[in-house]
Amino acid sequence: MSLENALPLIIAGPCLRHCDQQHFTLWFVSRERLSQLHLAIINAGIDRKLSSEEVHVVKLGQEAYQYLIRISQPELLPNDTVLSYQLGSAQYADLFAAVDELTYAGKSELEFIIKPQVDNLLHGSCRNPHHHSGDALVSADTQLAQLASPELRPALLMLSGDQVYVDDIAGPMLYAIGQVIDLLGLNQEHFTDCNLTNSEQISYQPAAMYQRHLNLLPKTQYKAKTAIKRWYINHPIFTSSIAENHLVSLNELIALYLLSWSPELWEIIDIPKEVSGLSKTNTLRWQREWTHLLEFKSGLKQVRRLFAHLPTYMIFDDHDVTDDWNLTARWEMAAYSHPFSKRIIGNALIAYTLFQGLGNAPTKFDADVRPQLDALFNEQETSTQDGLSAKSAVQDQLIDELLHFEDWHYSLQTSPKIIVLDTRTRRWRSESNLGKPSGLMDWEALMEFQAELVNQPNVIIVSPAPMYGVKLIETVQRMATFCGASLLVDAENWMAHPGTANTLLSIFQHRKTPEQFVILSGDVHYSFSYDISIRFRDAGPAIYQITCSGIKNQFPEKLLPYFDKFNGWLYGHFSPLNFFTKRKRMSIRGRRPNGARSQRLMNMSGIGQVELAANGAPTKITVLHADMSETEFLPPRRR
């Protein structure tokens, strides 16, 4: 049987995306174009053929079509009611019937529930397929399977960044990506200012692995500056220390997303454990990564089942595009002035739009982005130079549109209202030194954020980076910035830029903003929770910083306990050093993981779970780990 004939009808998905009383959004990828799609949602009175406006299809390749089903109308779905959905077409009565292990035990339908009152949610970030830790999304699915009824499920799953690692690709994963490109007939592209003419010249043989940082990724020369001196350095634009297999072409990124969510593709492709052409060190690395990817593959059916039953929302952080994305103004100048690095970044944004952004708030992309997106994938590839140039021009136009797009953020009309922040593209650039970290949001973006808070008694904020982080680590990042090494330590946090920090803290202290904030974050590869209040004020607001990271990633195990201990000594609740920080008006108390006396940071892959009272206050904050154990962050002792 040929690989093409072995392709399943459904290559990836289904995945529930933006679903509430007014919207139903469903994402999947099929091997062929489907016609006359028909949707039935039991208990919602929906059983009809879908119009062309309700079906957005993108031809990713010769054997891959992405579908986004999007229905919007007032009172479309009933709240707090168990619903089940079925999608058919003219060719197939039930598109998902043959998908293996898609429903929960004893069920034949795909069930979900709309909960406008958020009493319970899952959240997390940082899912790296070849990391040695377990995949906590598998644990989340196992937990859902154990619930007695759908009414007990979380209201939603919030993925707060680094859903994929574009800049950290295992050798065996890159080999698999090459196979998927051929298998699905994903489109090729031409490059400018690169030592390769087009993506067809990229080799995916093991001997070509772990070398892109040396012979493919662009470099630039720019000034580094400290308080003492300046000098010129020839620095890679893509600054990740493990960028040896950094993805560059759009077809590579499409293949990565599919391999992150599709168990069937892993069954079709074949990755050897024993390879030739690598150094001894890289041979051992290949075998280690091969083992971890095998473990990752084994849980993908459960991850798909979780996505099919729980409305899922996403937002990018740096690794969805590249490490240190927009960290400093100088980085931006270097990255966007080089045609090839701009194409690499733009390709990652196109892939994010396809696989993540469109499903969060589809209508935001209708006016400008979607027509150009459709134009790129509908542009016919030809063998003539003019034809190739035309397609490349369309791709560059779409990239320019996405780089100037300022509507990646979104909010959910739940109770509490959920506000999801874009902390990557609207940065407050340093005016004193272009090499200093930019603020995570500029003044205009922060004012729009504040407007979202008006008349809200309580809110849930999704900030990929913690608004209140570990002060000792932030101090180390500040010292590195002083020495001109902000890129080396990823020196980006909410307090790194004075304008952003002061504006953010003023928003929290403003008497017309909500009396209660729950902040959900990830990014840092460890988990913690803070209870925060305003010093010298009897009334609110009450602020809860809840950080869960990563889903499949961890901080270096030997290093974090030292940071935890020294942070407690230097910046504990009663330390006078707190009065020399930007957060001096804030009282910050760390919650205790499983009641530990001195520990505040938990370093173990997991998915966060937050249970909320009717007034929006968290009643239970836990992390469910890949081995099904739980860490509960207990409130600080009151003295």
DSSP 594-639: TT-SS---B-S-EEEEEEE-TTS-EEEEEEEETTS-EEEEEPPPP-
Question: Same structural domain for residues 419 and 276?
Answer: no
- Is residue 284 in some structural domain? yes
Listed residues 297, 325, 348: the one ending a domain: 297
Question: Same structural domain for residues 292 and 417?
Answer: no
- Is residue 222 in some structural domain? yes
Question: Same structural domain for residues 451 and 583?
Answer: yes
- Is residue 226 in some structural domain? yes
- Is residue 262 in some structural domain? yes
Does the pLDDT value for residue 224 go beyond 80?
A: no
Question: Same structural domain for residues 437 and 558?
Answer: yes
CA–CA gap between residue 630 and residue 593 (Å, rounded): 10
Question: How would you classify the pairing of strands 38-42 and 46-49?
Answer: antiparallel
3-state SS class at 370: helix
What's the mean per-residue pLDDT of the chain? 91
**What proportion of the chain, given as a percentage, has pLDDT over 70?**
91
CA–CA gap between residue 20 and residue 79 (Å, rounded): 8
pLDDT band at 511 (very low <50, low <70, confident <90, very high): confident
pLDDT band at 382 (very low <50, low <70, confident <90, very high): very low
By residue range, what is the domain housing residue 435? 410-600
For the record, the structure tokens of 45 come out as: 């009175």
Given a contact cutoff of 8 angstroms between Cβ atoms, the answer to whether 158 and 121 are in contact is: yes
Tell me what pLDDT residue 298 has. Answer: 97
The mean pLDDT of 418-445, rounded to a whole number, is: 92
CA–CA gap between residue 389 and residue 594 (Å, rounded): 59
For the record, the structure tokens of 109 come out as: 């339908």
User: How many Cβ atoms are within 10 Å of 6's Cβ, its own excluded?
Assistant: 11
Q: What is the total count of domains within the chain? A: 2
- Is residue 337 in some structural domain? no
> Which of 404-408, 534-538, 634-638 comes out lowest in average pLDDT?
534-538
Phi, psi at 132, each rounded to 5°: -70, -15
Residue type, 260: S
Question: Same structural domain for residues 414 and 287?
Answer: no
Model confidence over 338-370: pLDDT tens digits?
999 999 999 999 999 999 999 999 999 999 999
pLDDT band at 398 (very low <50, low <70, confident <90, very high): very high
Q: Is the peptide bond before 541 cis (omega within 30 degrees of 0)?
A: yes
Burial 227-253 (b: 16+ CB within 10 A, else e): eeeeeeeebbbbbbeebbbbbbbbbbb
Does the pLDDT value for residue 379 go beyond 70?
A: no
pLDDT band at 436 (very low <50, low <70, confident <90, very high): confident
CA–CA gap between residue 131 and residue 292 (Å, rounded): 7
Model confidence over 7-29: pLDDT tens digits?
999 999 999 999 999 999 999 99
Phi, psi at 514, each rounded to 5°: -55, 155
- Is residue 614 in some structural domain? no
Does the pLDDT value for residue 313 go beyond 60?
A: yes
Given a contact cutoff of 8 angstroms between Cβ atoms, the answer to whether 167 and 174 are in contact is: no
CA–CA gap between residue 314 and residue 260 (Å, rounded): 14
Listed residues 255, 279, 297: the one ending a domain: 297
Listed residues 263, 297, 331: the one ending a domain: 297
pLDDT band at 482 (very low <50, low <70, confident <90, very high): low
Does the pLDDT value for residue 79 go beyond 90?
A: yes
The mean pLDDT of 568-588, rounded to a whole number, is: 74
pTM: 0.94
By CB atoms closer than 10 A (0-12, 13-18, 19+), residue 440 is: buried
- Is residue 166 in some structural domain? no
Tell me what pLDDT residue 219 has. Answer: 83
- Is residue 235 in some structural domain? yes
For the record, the structure tokens of 276 come out as: 């030739």
Given a contact cutoff of 8 angstroms between Cβ atoms, the answer to whether 497 and 430 are in contact is: yes
Model confidence over 111-140: pLDDT tens digits?
999 999 999 999 999 999 999 999 999 999
